[in-house]
Amino acid sequence: MQGAEVAEGYRHQRPDFGQDANPLAVAMAEQERQTLAMVQQALKSGRMRLAYQPVVLGSDPTRIAFHEALIRILDETGRIIPARDFMPVAETRELGREIDCAALDMGLKALARHAGLRLSVNMSARSIGYPRWMRVLRHGLALGPTVGERLILEITENSAMLVPEIVIAFMDDLQAKGVAFALDDFGAGYTAFRYLKEFFFDIVKIDGQFIRGIHTDPDNQVLTRALVSIGQQFEMLTIAESVECVEDAQFLQQIGVNCLQGYLFGAPTLKPDFLQETRRKRA
């Protein structure tokens, strides 16, 4: 099915807003339909890619601890569309689970191809009950004996709290196979702290809203110190997201953040160094 046909299908499904409809609401609904059509077509055509962003050690930022794999789609012209432009619309639909499947499949295959790679892949708690996603996970873990121990699954605070008991059981099962788990956007959601003792996350990623400009923001300094202390108390590796300037990085190093991630150390790219090195070896 071509993109125009997919879009036409959505047009047939559009509600009748009537003469009194709010023009802004109509425009937003149309934009949402176009976004869903674009994503569905990209999935059908295989125009999905992973962009890789390095996460570096706080003690030595020249060393990469692992990469985060971030899903991207390509439109019909080949233009790269970042997740923020489509995931808010897709994530609560089945289409969101299909995106999770594509990201996990590509991530696991990358781990199987590159023995020295450690990779985090984003997921939603909703995917735990999605049979296809679980099949992709089981198949990917069987691709090599070390794939599981080099995989990190990232779950946002808000997603984890949708079904905490299911997430906890899922994590217990996968951690026994060597898979690590990261609590993403820590501090941005509404985590019930009583669950931290039960979740046993391996990693917490402190949300970027507390990190940007932290070296001149006393409030965010206090909040970030508290989040780091919580991570240390529960023996979780702490990662600061959205590190964009040297001064922020230096402050985070001083307070004992374990790892740093952000544009200061590298933007997400479809062509990371480890892929370039593999191509050079083949040549």
Q: Using one digit for the tens of pLDDT, what is the confidence trace for 80-103? A: 998 888 888 888 888 989 999 999
Question: pLDDT-derived band of residue 35, with 50, 70 and 90 as boundaries?
Answer: confident
pLDDT in tens, 179-219: 999 999 888 766 667 777 788 999 999 999 999 999 999 99
Same domain, 171 and 267: yes
Question: pLDDT-derived band of residue 19, with 50, 70 and 90 as boundaries?
Answer: low
Name the domain boundary from 30, 45, 60.
Answer: 45
Name the domain boundary from 45, 61, 79.
Answer: 45
Q: Calculate mean pLDDT across residues 48-72.
A: 97
Question: pLDDT-derived band of residue 13, with 50, 70 and 90 as boundaries?
Answer: very low
141-164 as b/e: b if 16+ CB within 10 A: beeeeebbebbbbbbbbebbbeeb
Whichever domain contains 117, its CATH number is: 3.20.20.450
Query: Number of C-alpha atoms within 13 angstroms, CB side, residue 101?
Result: 17
| pLDDT above 70 (res 64) | yes
State residue 142's pLDDT score. Answer: 97
DSSP string across 66-99: EEEEEEEEE-TT--EEEGGGTHHHHTTSHHHHHH
Question: pLDDT-derived band of residue 6, with 50, 70 and 90 as boundaries?
Answer: very low
Domain count, the chain: 2
Query: If you average pLDDT over each of 3-12, 95-104, 152-161, which comes out highest?
Result: 95-104
Cα first-last separation, the chain: 37
| Calpha distance 53→72 (Å, rounded) | 13
| pLDDT above 50 (res 173) | yes
Residue 96 is which amino acid? Answer: G
Same domain, 30 and 147: no
Same domain, 63 and 106: yes
Same domain, 152 and 25: no
Same domain, 40 and 104: no
Same domain, 33 and 124: no
Same domain, 40 and 151: no
Return the closest-CA partner of residue 264 out of 211, 209, 198: 211
Same domain, 25 and 85: no
Residue 153 contacts residue 180 (beta carbons within 8 Å): yes
pLDDT more than 90, % of the chain: 65
Residue 265 contacts residue 253 (beta carbons within 8 Å): no
Question: pLDDT-derived band of residue 114, with 50, 70 and 90 as boundaries?
Answer: very high
State residue 159's pLDDT score. Answer: 86
State residue 91's pLDDT score. Answer: 84
Same domain, 163 and 195: yes
What is the SS3 assignment for 160?
helix
pLDDT in tens, 222-236: 999 999 999 999 999
Same domain, 52 and 12: no
Same domain, 24 and 125: no
| pLDDT above 70 (res 150) | yes
Q: For residue 80, give its domain range.
A: 48-282
Sign of the Cα pseudo-torsion (88, 73, 208, 118, in order): positive
Classify residue 232 as exposed, middle or buried by CB count within 10 Å of its CB (0-12, 13-18, 19+): middle
Same domain, 56 and 161: yes
